[in-house]
A = this chain, B = another copy of it.
Amino acid sequence: MTATVVLATRNAKKLEELRRVLAAEGIEVLGLADVTPHPEPEETEHTFAGNALLKARACVEATGLPTLADDSGLTVAALGGMPGVRSARWAGPGSSDEENLALVLRQLADVPTERRTASFVCALALALPDGRSEVIHGEVTGRLTMWARGENGFGYDPIFLPDGHDRTTAEMSAEEKDAISHRGRAIRAMVPILTELLTATERDGER
């Protein structure tokens, strides 16, 4: 059996990351660009889970297909938990990864290593055409470096040093990062739920 799920994102790197994990489960992953219409609601919620559900439900409503949506970001203790839900536009709407990361480094320039604690958090929502939904959280704790290091990954990866590691997530291979990342953790926790629900849905469809 091949089950299909939409990942409600245009972010090619997120799509690739999810496809890599779900391919092994025989689950095909479509991106927003593969479905019509392409619903993209504004992320108006104050929590990762709220935004993830918002996006997943809008896509189910538009396409009729089971949908995964994630909202994730960096929470920095010295910034009161922000950039949080505003991680992708921390320096303002339309800002680049480099601008957002440079702003965080500038804002924390006077904050010493022991107070640079931060986490990557991912809320992954699954919404089904019948109205059911699930949200799973993944988190990886660590601290921020003083300068960007590494060329891999995206977002704040070049300044995030996961606890127990001496390389930033941008200095790790995709496989190494998946194994410890907030999104990797959320996806792995979601796989059995996804498999169970998609299989049950297909069985229902066959009756």
Interchain CA distance A72-B75 in the complex, whole Å: 23
A91 CA to B80 CA, complexed, in Å: 15
A82 to B89, CA, bound (A): 15
A93 x B80 contact (CB < 8 A): no
CB-based contact B89/A84 at 8 Å: no
Whether, in the assembled complex, A20 has its beta carbon less than 8 Å from a beta carbon of chain B, the answer is: no
- When the two chains form their complex, are residues B81 and A93 in contact, meaning their CB atoms are under 8 A apart? no
Indicate if the CB atoms of A91 and B106 lie closer than 8 Å.
yes
Complex CA–CA separation, A22 to B106 (angstroms): 38
The answer on a CB contact under 8 Å between B90 and A107 is yes
Contact partners of A46 in chain B: CB under 8 A? 77-78, 80
The chain B residue sitting closest to A90, CB to CB, is B107
Whether A109 is near chain B, meaning CB under 8 Å from some CB there, is: yes
How distant is the Cα of A135 from the Cα of B86 in the complex, in angstroms? 33
Task: With CB as the reference atom, state the residue of chain B lying closest to A102.
Answer: B92
Q: How distant is A148 from chain B, measured CB to nearest CB, in Å?
A: 15
Given contacts A46-B78, A79-B86, A92-B109, 20 further A-B contacts (CB under 8 A): A44-B115, A46-B77, A46-B80, A78-B86, A79-B82, A80-B80, A80-B82, A80-B84, A86-B107, A89-B107, A89-B110, A90-B107, A91-B103, A91-B106, A91-B107, A92-B106, A92-B107, A93-B109, A93-B110, A103-B103
| Chain A residues in the interface with B (C-beta under 8 A) | 44, 46, 77-82, 84, 86, 89-93, 103, 106-107, 109-110, 115
